[in-house]
Amino acid sequence: MDPQQRPLMSDRVTVNGIVTPLALLADGRLWWSEGNQRCLSVEKDVLSFVTSGPYIKIKSLVETRDGCCSTGAPARLARNDVVFMPSSEESHRLWCQKLSEFVDSLGRPKRLFVFVNPFGGKKSATKIFDEQVKPLLEDAQIEITVQETKHQLHAKEITHLLDITKYDGIVCVSGDGLLVEVVNGLLQREDWETAIKIPLGVVPAGTGNGMAKSLLDSVGDPCEVANAVHAIIRGNKRPLDVATIIQGEIRFFSILMLAWGLVADIDIESEKYRWMGSARLDFYGLCRLLNLRQYIGCVSFVPAPGFEAFGEPTSYPGKPTTSKGSNSDTSEAEHTNKQRPCYLGPEINVENLNWRVINGPFISVWLHNVPWGAEDTMAAPDAKFSDGYLDLIIIKNCPTLPLLSMMSELNTGGHVKSQYVTYLKVKAFSLQPGPRTKDQEKEGIIDADGEVLARGKGTYKCEEKTLMTYDKLQIAVDQGLATLFTPI
């Protein structure tokens, strides 16, 4: 007999009034026969089990399909309970013991700190948590501490002081912004080396949901709440690269993307049409294409192996500086300095690396850490979670019609195949942003992980404070620094 097929426990039990054989196999499958053969994987399907008198209830989350015909119908996860009665009290005790031992061996989280952002996306995160997230975590017998965020950077403030020894992970029920805050909070702690190792989970409840989409799509799962929570409950983990964006003494830690030019303009300036819902991005994207902007500037980078032919050789672009008289929030910079010792970025000797440069003007410059920027935007189809590189997507001269066609292919990643797109991987990166080509009195917006990192003069809400100035900045990647709960 295959050792994986060897039963750890077997019995004749009663299921739905029918006596049937039931076995827990060495490979973690629960097998029984109730009319037709049935099977559950403890690792994949079973959330937990509870007892009630002589009965044992297996709480599970299994794939099901809507409709009478399953062909072509999308699978979804649904809660399902299986109740059985062992043949004796001793058998009941042994079943509980074996099931407990197997579930405990999986290393699943037992205590989670959960952030809920009631303001993000369609402002439905609280309802999503109450109706979909909380019931599944309770079924899995996970103890949770819930914190609703009250304002921007609230999650960062809490994470910075959180006693992480009490938890097996931090979960964000939100879009990508909350997860970014948590990472920044962890890396600005004195114990950052320990803190950043705590696994992070994300449940899609925001506008973009790029990280959740990237994680779930990597195994072919839909970007649904149940699938995201299921991944967290199972407790599998994977490393995640973290990019450090530096300007002078100011640092911002990015896990998703950085954009300058067309993508940043659409993302940020379309906020004035937020009343349109998600359609605002399509509407304003068309507006920007019909009145296309190009920006003067240059990008310098250290190419990954195999991408050395892109750009022209150049010297190290130098340390980024902060411009005087800018709209940078100096109190934030002072706060960052006071947090030492904290994480200051990857230990890379960037000066001795082989830098290359591409000069503008540019329509769009886009850096990505994971494949999906939003549920419908596969920005960087070749991006990996922990390869130690960022994917750089550059659009320079491009006629309107090809650009329109290109933008329509964002949901499949087909845009990177266009002759007008330069697509490569980089280890380090420097951006020197400049003004618009047709109106040099106006500059642009630098967008990092969905938030405005810097606003140039003449931009949308340019009077608002930002973390950095519209000036040179530098980025380096630390491979696998953070940890994510993942479906695999």
DSSP 29-66: EEEEEESEEEEEETTTTEEEEEEETTEEEEEEEEEEES
Ordered by where they begin, the domains of the chain are 5-64+73-104 (2.30.29.30), 109-234 (3.40.50.10330), 252-315+342-478 (2.60.200.40)
Indicate the pairing of strand 75-85 with strand 55-65.
antiparallel
Catalytic center residues: 176
- C-alpha radius of gyration, the chain, whole number: 25
417 versus 334: the higher-pLDDT residue is 417
* 321-345: pLDDT as tens digits: 444 334 544 444 444 444 457 999 9
Q: 169 in helix, strand or coil?
A: coil
pTM for the model: 0.91
- Average of pLDDT values for 88-102? 95
Q: In this model, does residue 312 exceed pLDDT 80?
A: yes
352 versus 281: the higher-pLDDT residue is 352
Lowest-confidence region among 169-173, 249-253, 404-408, 433-437: 404-408
DSSP 56-109: EEEEEEEEEESSS--TTPPEEEEEEEEEEE-SSHHHHHHHHHHHHHHHHTTT--
At 330 the pLDDT is 41
Query: How many percent of the chain have pLDDT more than 90?
Result: 78
**What is the layout of strands, in order, in the sheet containing 46-52?**
36-41, 29-34, 18-25, 7-15, 75-85, 55-65, 46-52
Mean pLDDT rounded to a whole number for the chain: 91
At 332 the pLDDT is 46
Beta bridge partner(s), residue 112: 144
At 339 the pLDDT is 45
* 423-461: pLDDT as tens digits: 999 999 999 999 999 999 999 999 999 889 999 999 999
CB-CB contact of 239 with 483 (8 Å): yes
